[in-house]
Amino acid sequence: MTGPSPPASAPGGPAVLLRASNVTKTFRADGGPVSAVRGVDLTLRAGEFAAIMGPSGSGKSTLLHLLGGLERPTSGEIWLDGRRVDGLSQAKWAVLRRRHIGFVFQFFNLVSNMTVADNVELAALMGGASKRQAAERCAELLAELGLSDKAGAAPARLSGGEQQRVALARALANRPSLLLADEPTGNLDSSGSQSVLRLLTRAHAEGQAILLVTHDARVASAAERVISLFDGMVADDAALRAPHRPAAARAAKAVPAVLRLHG
């Protein structure tokens, strides 16, 4: 089933960055097929910060993985920057992620055999930066996140909060158009959570589009829009406040993202 072609730009707001149309994901399990994501439609505009909430097993993480190309949807369409991407091969997805998508995970997933600086620089190098540019970008990000003194450390020697900040730096190293965060505070204590949230807010203030998965309402409240998933379907999609438009504060009366519910 194919959805309608997405408009290059919705009226009254910035361009649509990401659009999912009737996306489903079915896993095979011992007891028969299990649908983790069932016909989800969603749209995210450039610079928008949306949270996906829902109870355990509601398909939040799976949806995020599908949108980032970490696995292939069973059916449906995914459009990124006006380009249809759901059928891309693993290699093409990888190339796409280099420049367009940054990922942050609950368990940080830093490359264990590389130092903090290596982790961040690796992402920049993958994005096509020269060695010098990568080093500069890394130094800049680590300074911003207060991790300059940890540049040479192994990830395992860092606290959870510090590791997540490094993961964030790595995800932002290429100035991706979209940041996907999967329970980024799920494994952190409250002060760690606070600092990560502050950083996400700051990145958003600078125009970064963010899609964040959480089951924590306090975390979700940092976003300007909350999409609720239940049993793999979108149950609700609501704007919490007017979208933050640092570069274009004039667009104050932004229209909430278009939402369609599939039964």
Partner 1 sequence: MQATLRWIRADLRARRGQAVAVVAVVAGVVTALLLSAALLQGATNPWQGLFSATRGAHIWLRLAPGTETGVLRSAVHGVTAMAGPYQAASASVVRDDAKQPAELRAMGPHLPAIGRPLLESGHWLSWARPGGVVLESTYAQALHARVGSVLDLDNLDGIAVARVRVAGIAETSDQGFYPDQAPGLIWVLPGVLHQVEPRGDTYEVVGLQIASPAGTAPVIQQAVTQLGTSAVEDVSTWQQVKQSMARRDPLLGLVLALFGLVALGAAVLAIINATGGRVLVQRADLGMLQTLGFTPGQVMTMLVAEHGALGVAGLAAGLVAARLLAPGLLGQVPGVSAGAATLPLGWSLLILGGIEVAVLLATAVPGWRAARVWPVAAVRPVPPQGHLSRLARAAMASRLPPAIVLGTRAAFVRRLPALLTIGGLAVPMIMITIGLGFWSTLDEVQHNPADIGLAAGLTVNRGTMSDAQSSQLISRAPGVAAVYRSVQVTALLPGESTTVTTLGEGTSAHPYPFRVVQGRLYRAPEEAVATQGLLDVLGVHVGELVQMPFGGVLVTFRIVGRIIDPQYDGQVLAYGRDTLADEGAAAPPFAYSLILRNGASPAVTQEWLQRHSGGRLQVTQTVNPADQLGVVRYMIAGVILVLALIGLTNLMTASLVGIRDHLRDVRVLRAMGLTPAQVIASLVARTSVLALVAVAIGVSLGLAACTGLINLAARLYGLGAGIGALPGGLTLAIAIIIAVLMAGLTAVVPARAYGQVPAAGVLGA
Q: Name every residue whose Cβ is closer than 8 Å to that of residue 94 and which is 6 or more positions away in sequence.
A: 69
Helix (H), strand (E) at residue 134: helix 131-144
Toward partner 1, which CB reaches closer, 109 or 148? Answer: 109
Toward partner 1, which CB reaches closer, 12 or 32? Answer: 32
Say which residue the tokens 């980024």 belong to.
184
Helix (H), strand (E) at residue 192: helix 190-205
Q: Name every residue whose Cβ is closer than 8 Å to that of residue 136 and which is 6 or more positions away in sequence.
A: none
CB of 13 to partner 1, least distance (A): 29
CB of 119 to partner 1, least distance (A): 9
Toward partner 1, which CB reaches closer, 117 or 203? Answer: 117
Query: Is residue 12 within 8 Å of 45, Cβ to Cβ?
Result: no
Q: Which amino acid is at 204?
A: H
Toward partner 1, which CB reaches closer, 43 or 174? Answer: 174
CB of 172 to partner 1, least distance (A): 12
Toward partner 1, which CB reaches closer, 30 or 263? Answer: 30
CA distance linking residue 210 with residue 49, whole number of Å? 5
CB of 105 to partner 1, least distance (A): 5
Residues forming contacts to partner 1 in the complex (CB under 8 A) are: 29-30, 61, 65, 68, 70-72, 90-91, 94-95, 97-99, 103, 105, 107, 109-115, 118, 121-123, 125-127, 130-131, 134, 154, 170, 182
CB of 201 to partner 1, least distance (A): 23
- Beta strands 225-230 and 233-239, pairing class: antiparallel
CB of 109 to partner 1, least distance (A): 5
CA distance linking residue 72 with residue 34, whole number of Å? 15
- Beta strands 75-80 and 233-239, pairing class: unpaired
Toward partner 1, which CB reaches closer, 138 or 254? Answer: 138
Toward partner 1, which CB reaches closer, 13 or 73? Answer: 73
CB of 113 to partner 1, least distance (A): 4
Closest CA to 117 of 196, 67, 170, 183: 170
Q: Is 164 helix (H, G, I), strand (E, B) or coil?
A: helix
What are 33's two structure tokens? Answer: 């097929």
